[in-house]
Structure formats: structure tokens, C-alpha cells
Structure 1
Amino acid sequence: MLDQETLRTFIGVAETGSFSKAAERLCKTTATISYRIKLLEEDMGAALFTRTTRSVTLTPAGMHLLTQAREWLAWLESVPGELQQVNDGVERQVNIVVNNLLYDASAIAQLLAWLTQRYRFTQFHFSRQIYMGVWDTLLHDGFSLAIGVTGTEPLSETIALEPLGDVEWLFVMAPDHPLHQPGAILTEAQLRRYPAVNVEDTARTLTKRVAWRLPGQKEIIVPDIETKIAAHIAGVGIGFLPRSLCQPLIDRRALVSLTIPSMRPPSPLSLAWHKHHSGKAVTDIVRLFQQRQPEISGFLTTLDC
């Protein structure tokens, strides 16, 4: 009743608004097209087209069927390739979580261009998380791979890690901030008088971490690293930023970097994936990172590798 040929015929008439034009498109006779549509309407028990001497237009039932027919036909045409992909050990869907510190739209697009060319029938889903939220998403939300989990030791025996490098931190503030005293080493008492700007950890199951805040110090929470940078430039707070992100701003005098009693040590980040449930797509992504291929270079610009 709804085989591929019938679906193509129905879509052809609906899109051209003509039995004869649909016949030309499908290399059939007009009589064949008309007969197929007649049988389809009889099988459906509803009129799909309103016919006049000059035009053929869809009825409400026909409009509904057109939406469904396009989806069904696309699915039917993709099934052989999808089944072959499954037989070849390629995942139907790959979910990837990226650390906020490494997230870059161009890097995502570059990796996607490489992946979609090789895995046409795999759906890719990217998520952006912060601190322990990266681990949380990998361990508890059915994600296949994480770009930038904290540390170099897995939180589960089922997870494999590939160290990516370290994030180096600088303590920064706006040039006109009251704490800006060139050459001076600031005390904790001085620092505590001004708010720390932090991006909130997105972990839900694991314990959240606070990037930097002194006891009793006011904290300003922002949703991402871009907002944190803007807040520092605006002079509303103080805190640490990755050297690679803030150094250009320091060079332009949009920010200044100072030394405080307890400087933040470098933060190692790693690639993480499930050892026993990885298909070909995830394996290939891991290989790209292990070999430092150009397709993933955009994720590493924040790191000291």
C-alpha cells in the first residue's frame, strides 16, 4: 500500500501539482501516475487531492500524508546503508561531551565535517559541561566520549583516558580595579573584599567543585567562560582564567595579571571514553586525539601540550 514507488508517486504529484509533470519527473505515463494515486486514495479511505481542470492540490489529509511520506521514504532509502553500518560496528548515535574550557564552535564544526563524511547514518550529539559535569555526563547520561575530563585518573574502571595537556591559569582583573597594584603581592584579606567570578560546576550526581573562592568571599556565578572573561574586563570581579584565553587580553591591556599568595596550579585534562562499548566512530575520534590530527586541533588551543 505504501511501498517506495507509491510514496515517490504521491510526493511527485504533491510537489509538482500535476499528474503530467509528476509523470515526466518519474519517467512514467500520466495514466500510470493517475492510477497509482487512485489506488492509494482507495486504500487510505480518504481523498488526498482536489482535482480541477487546471490544477491538483492537496486536501488536509493529503498535506498530513505528505509530511509523513517524506520521512518514510527517506527512512526506507537509508535502511540498507544503516544496516550495513551496524554490521560494520558503527554506532547509530554518538554523544560527545566537551569541557567548557575546550569548547569551540569551529572545533566542533571541523570534527563534525570529518565524522559526517565517514559516518553518514550516525547521529552526533554534542553537549557542553563544566568541571565535574563533564565526568557526570559521561558516567551517568549515556555519553560515549568526553573531551576534557578533569585529571589523568579515571573515576571508573570501565573508562579509558588519554591525557590531553594542562590548562595554565593566571590571576586577572581589570586594569582600573582597586586591587591593581603593580609589583605588589596581594594578601588574602585584600582579595576577600572583592567578589570572585566563577563558572558554576554543572555536575548533578558528583560533588561540585568551586574554581577559586576564599572563605567568606562573595561569589558571582556566570554560565560560561565567555561571560566570566567579560565580567573580569568590566571590573566586576577577580579570579583565574586560562593563560591562552587571557594572555591576548593582557597584551592589549584589557586585563592585568597579578600574583596572589596561593596561585592556582595547572589543571590536567584528558580524553575519556568507555572501554567496552565503543564502536568505530568513537575509536576513530580517539585515534585523532592520540595522533594529534588536524581535525581535532581546535580543541587543544587552550592547553599546554
Structure 2
Amino acid sequence: MDLRHLRYFLAVAEEGHFGRAAQRLHIVQPALSVQIRALEEELGTALFQRSTRKVMLTDAGRLLVVEARRTLEQAEHAKTLIQRAARGETGVVRIGFVGNAVATGRLSDDLIAFHEAWPDVALELHEMAPAAQQDAVLAGRLDIGYCPVFGAAFDAKLAVRKLGSWAWDVVMSDRHPLAKRRTVPVAALADEPFVLYAAEGDDTGQLTMLRQLLGTEPRIAHKVSSTLSVLALTGAGLGVALAPAPLSRIAAPNVVYRPVGKGGPRSELVAISLMGGEWGAVKQYLAMLGKRAA
């Protein structure tokens, strides 16, 4: 028994006449009669009492009317649901991010733009380290990751979209001697103790960047997993840190931000997703990123 049989059956039941039902269905009457006979044979009971003028439902037929309508309504609901999901109108987009994505404002700007365009799509946010984001996207646990670029290559299975580039600032206590400068030369950072942002213990990215910047092994005073911890420790004078310049929008007590002088690095932010995994709401989100980049 398939949906076509149920539609044919309901047409006959509602019209009370094979000829009118055939016209409604745009098929010839003999073909309709064959389909109804096949349905009755499959169910093992008569669905209609036939006469030369009209047909009437049997007890089994009246029961099937209720179930057929319910089944067809559910099938239509499922069809609509899948079609809307395929167009990206509904569904869930699972997004991983690092603190820099929030500090720069890029993540929140993207969320605003996407929600305005696709208000029925749910957005799930998960703060996690870059390496964990890559693993989660590859394993299908995340759809999109907002990752910084520290020179390490991304897995070949990942599509990488550039989101932005920002200069780095030195974050330090307002009592630090370097706070009196307008900019901080790279050479002045050589002997400074650093507060290292290491989300979920992953310090590889920033540590590599500091080694390249300083040309030597940096002094690491603290490793922390949140931006607020960076601000608390630097404000207390327990080290300096590097952060994307937009972080300076956060006015933290006892903290100042100073640009890194000539030769300072830049903070690169990209969106990663599984190559070939663009479907439904995720496809629409990635399309939105492309339009904003353009």
C-alpha cells in the first residue's frame, strides 16, 4: 500500500463515483478501478459497495478514510519539513568559536545577519580551542568553526574562509612601565612574562606566534583558558598578553592596551567547515559568510 493508492481511494470515497474521481485525478476510469481493486486485494477486504450509479463505503472503507487522511497529512507535513530544511529555512547550525571571534565583533555581527535572514533556524554556540574545533567539524559534531590562524595548516578535508585580519595589541597593567608608550616595540617584549591564552589547554597557536615574533623562547608566566582570566592577570601586573586590537573595546579595571610597534603580527580569523558538507541551514550560513566577505 503506497501513498498513491491512498490518494486514489480518498478521491473515490469523497466523490462517491469512479468516473468523477478519475476526472479529478486526471486518469482514465479503468486504470482507477484497477488500482482500487489492487488495494482491496492487498488489504483482504472490500472498501466499496458498488452499484451502477454510485459507490458506498463499507465499514472497512470508512475506517480507512480516517487513517488515509491522517497518513497523507503526515506525509505532506514530512515533505514540507524536509523541503524547508533543504532550503535552509529550519534546522540547526552548530558553531564553535574562540574568544577572539567575540572580541572582534565578527561572530555577533554574523549571528545578527543570519538570524534576521533565517529566524527559524536554531544556532548552537560552543566555545572551544582551535584544534578541538577542527576535530569536531571533521567528526560531524560541529558545522562551522571560528578559528584563528597561527601558521599551522588546516586539514585538507576542511573548507577555510577568511573572515578578517586585525593588528595585535599588548594587554598590560596601567602601572606597567610600557603603558607610558603609545606603541610597544617588539624588542621591548623580549624579557616580559606572558599570560598565554590557551583554550582547553591548547597553547600551540599563540606559543608558536610568540616564538616567531620574539625570535626566542618566550617567558610564560600563566596559561589561562578565558579572555576574562587574561584581563584579570594582566590588570594585576602578573604578566602581559597579546590580543587582537578589537579586544580594547572591553574596558577592564587596571588594564591598558597598546599597539605592537613595527613588525608586529596580525590576528587572522577564518571559518572552517567540512568540504562538501554544505546543506540546508549550514549552506545558507556559509553563503551569508561569503556575501559579507564580498
Q: TM-score, normalised by structure 1?
A: 0.53
Distance 1:136 1:129 in 2: 11
User: Which position in structure 1 is the counterpart of 2:225?
Assistant: 223
SS of 1:277 mapped into structure 2? coil
Deviation at 1:172, TM superposition (A): 3.2
Distance 1:290 1:277 in 2: 16
CA contact (8 A) 1:145 1:273 kept: yes
SS of 2:229 mapped into structure 1? helix
User: Which position in structure 1 is the counterpart of 2:243?
Assistant: 241
Q: What stretches of structure 1 of length at least 5 have no aligned partner?
A: 1-74, 294-304
Distance 1:200 1:176 in 2: 25
CA contact (8 A) 1:165 1:269 kept: yes
Distance 1:174 1:242 in 2: 17
Deviation at 1:101, TM superposition (A): 0.5
- Cα distance change of structure 1 residues 242 and 89 upon mapping to structure 2, 3 Å threshold: closer
Deviation at 1:223, TM superposition (A): 2.2
Distance 1:207 1:229 in 2: 20
Distance 2:210 2:132 in 1: 17
- Cα distance change of structure 1 residues 113 and 203 upon mapping to structure 2, 3 Å threshold: same
CA contact (8 A) 2:190 2:218 kept: no
Distance 1:209 1:123 in 2: 32
Deviation at 1:287, TM superposition (A): 1.9
Equivalent residue letter for 1:164: L
1:8-19 maps to which residues of 2 (within 5 A)?
none
Aligned residues: 212
Indicate the percent of aligned positions where both proteins have the same amino acid: 16
- Cα distance change of structure 1 residues 235 and 166 upon mapping to structure 2, 3 Å threshold: same
Distance 2:257 2:157 in 1: 43
Distance 1:96 1:230 in 2: 27
User: Which position in structure 2 is the counterpart of 1:163?
Assistant: 162
Could you report, residue by residue, the CA deviation over 1:109-142 in whole angstroms, capped at 9, with x for unpaired residues?
Answer: 525633652xx3x543221223433333322352
Superposition RMSD in Å? 4.4
- Cα distance change of structure 1 residues 92 and 185 upon mapping to structure 2, 3 Å threshold: closer
Deviation at 1:176, TM superposition (A): 0.9
1:21-170 maps to which residues of 2 (within 5 A)?
81-86=80-85, 92-103=91-102, 106-107=108-109, 110-111=112-113, 113-114=115-116, 116-117=118-119, 120=120, 123-140=122-139, 142-150=141-149, 155-170=154-169
Deviation at 1:92, TM superposition (A): 4.4
SS of 1:255 mapped into structure 2? strand
Distance 1:186 1:153 in 2: 22
Distance 2:83 2:249 in 1: 49
Distance 2:114 2:96 in 1: 14
User: Which position in structure 1 is the counterpart of 2:268?
Assistant: 268
User: Which position in structure 1 is the counterpart of 2:173?
Assistant: 174
Q: TM-score, normalised by structure 2?
A: 0.55
